[in-house]
Amino acid sequence: MDSYKEKKCEERKLDVEEGKYELISVEGTSYFITQEEVKESNLLIAFFNKKAPYIEKSTKSVKLPINDSFMNKIVTYLTILSSQDESIRDLLIVDLTEDEIYKILEISSYMGM
């Protein structure tokens, strides 16, 4: 039986083929995300798969003004976290709260991102 990640990977491939998701690239890493989700300012969560990380719409969205620069900082921060701790790659990162988003931005500014 396929693992959860393999099923998720296949689901995303079908979603892209059907036009539900768009494949984009951030710093050489592929992410599946709908541009509408970013435009609608839905808070996102990241699922790091060893084959390809996925950013998925959170079921408990917090409305925030998320622009491309903002999203890239979040993606970069989560990518750094996953590279430092391999266990994070296989976990569903919890829904980010507004405070956590601002903490990410604060940390990322200290890191020069």
Q: What is the pLDDT of residues 69-80, one digit of tens each?
A: 666 666 666 666
Cβ(30)–Cβ(23) under 8 Å?
yes
Q: Domain-by-domain residue ranges, the chain?
A: 4-110
Contact indicator for 47, 53 with CB cutoff of 8 Å: yes
pLDDT at 6 (0 to 100): 64
pLDDT at 8 over 60: yes
Question: Which residue matches tokens 């003004």?
Answer: 65
Contacts of 59 (CB under 8 A, 6+ apart): 95
Tens-digit pLDDT profile for residues 42-78: 334 333 333 334 444 433 333 344 456 666 666 666 6
> Which of 34, 47, 55, 57 is closest to 89 using CA atoms?
47
For residue 17, name the pLDDT band (cuts at 50, 70, 90): confident
Across the range 105-110, mean pLDDT stands at: 53
